[in-house]
Amino acid sequence: MQTFPFLPWLRALVPMLLLLSATPGAADDSLLAAQRRMSVTLKELNRANAEVKRREGRVREAEEALVRSQRKAEDDKAKLEQARKGLNEAKSGAEVAQRDYDQASTEIQRLYRERQPPSSSKP
């Protein structure tokens, strides 16, 4: 993007204005008015180009912030997946431990019953 799109036009206009300024008479007033208009227009152009640069900077900053946010979201998503994986592993481990506990409890109850003397019936 060209910063001053009207610069070539202004470069062509300035020599013409200089030629007109060399002609005497009534052209002096119109030349002076044209030079003033050109000066005012050039100031407006400079202000507009400065605004364009300022807004381009804002867009660039917003794009950079978006990239940072996307990276953070990807990192957070990876952490979430890792946490879910860890949770599933912990649940599986808890299920195995519960089965082992239940088996051990059943075995203890069986062994306890085997060691108890048979109950005698009372007559």
pLDDT digits (tens, 9 = 90+) for 24-41: 555 567 889 999 999 999
Taking the model in full, what pTM does it have?
0.52
Q: How confident is the model at residue 19 (pLDDT cuts 50, 70, 90)?
A: low
Using the structure block, give the residue that is written with the tokens 């060691």: 115
Percent helix, strand, coil in the chain (nearest 5)? 85, 0, 15
Delimit the domains of the chain by residue range.
7-112
The two structure tokens encoding residue 7: 């610069």
The two structure tokens encoding residue 70: 């996307």
Average pLDDT over residues 49-75: 97
CB atoms within 10 A of CB 31: 17
Instruction: Report the percentage of the chain scoring pLDDT > 90.
Output: 66
